[in-house]
Amino acid sequence: MAVLKLTGDEIKTFPAVLRDYANHMVAVRGISEKTICEYLLDLRSFFRFYKMKKNELSLSLDELEAMSISDIREADVKAVTREMIIDFIVHSTVERRNNTTTRMRKLSSIRSFFQYATTRQHIIDTNPSLDIDSPKKSKVLPKYLTVSEAVKLLETIKSDRSSKTVVRDFAIVTLFLNTGMRLSELVGLNLGSFDADITRVKVMGKGSKERVVYINDAARRALVDYLKMRLDPKYIVTSDKAFFLSRRQTRISNKTVQWMVGKYLDLAGLGTRGLSVHKLRHTAATLMYQAGSDIRVLKEILGHEQLNTTQIYTHVIDRNLEEAVANHPLATVKITPPPPIDED
């Protein structure tokens, strides 16, 4: 099972039916290795719970975590019922105290596996995870920078005279803020990803799906400035095709980008806002929507699978409108009525 980033000992703990599922999802469906590993861990938790219920055991969480599922077979998959899945979600809520997002992910993992077992392998005739309502997730509005805060961040980077990578760092943050690109997409860029005019770039999104991202003038200027240095043999001697390089002239890592962005958010006085690299993506999306971009166009720019994922940005605007009314200068003015006229 070399397609997964799991150790040999970890792989052995999963039964063949789950290993086959994982290989299918990665090799055929194009699901990322990170995602399928999360699915496998969720399914391991579920089948541990299944075995506990099947054998009418009463175990602590520590004892449950130590249980092996290597003996799970197709007969066990057939024995799973809708009620058992619901009981597992309840168990995740009450015993494990999982938050809504985690419970939603666990149910998604279970649905994915049983869909595979029904339609691909025909292990079962009816999918027991159908018609189970997902846990309701409260809408959390994304954090983002205002235009003035984004400008301040860029000015802070540009004015850094102590960094040898300031041209690269400015190009990275400018690209985030102007395109809404994901961190993994940016780190994965190669020299050949861009067209000759640096007006378009091909990125590899989630699920190994390629899309074209358009580059505006501000991002193009920053990229061209960096590219001059990137292609200058006085500075760069590597044959690596990665677009953004580390100081060691290897492909820049996610961790390095995250550290760099955090450093400049702190220097710009924005470090207490709970912002991060991903919040720069939220900033790009929010500012584009505020500027009048159609929500369906924004969906394609961001590489979202579902429109409802993108619609979170419409709620940002609703909140802005609500706050605008609440912050109206007259909102706190109290007019004291005159005393009643004494007609006597």
Q: Which two tokens stand for residue 79?
A: 């024995």
What is the set of active-site residues? 182, 206, 278, 281, 304, 313
Q: Which two tokens stand for residue 222?
A: 């920053």
Alpha helices in 251-328 (DSSP H): 254-267, 277-290, 295-302, 307-310, 312-326
Q: Is 13 helix (H, G, I), strand (E, B) or coil?
A: coil
Distances (CA, A) of 232 to 38, 47, 228, 313: 42, 56, 6, 41
Please give the full DSSP string across 232-265, using - where no structure is assigned.
Answer: -TTT------BSSB-TTSSBPPHHHHHHHHHHHH
Is-contact 170 151, C-beta < 8 A? no
Residue 194, phi-psi category: left (phi > 0), alpha (psi -120 to 50), beta (remainder): beta
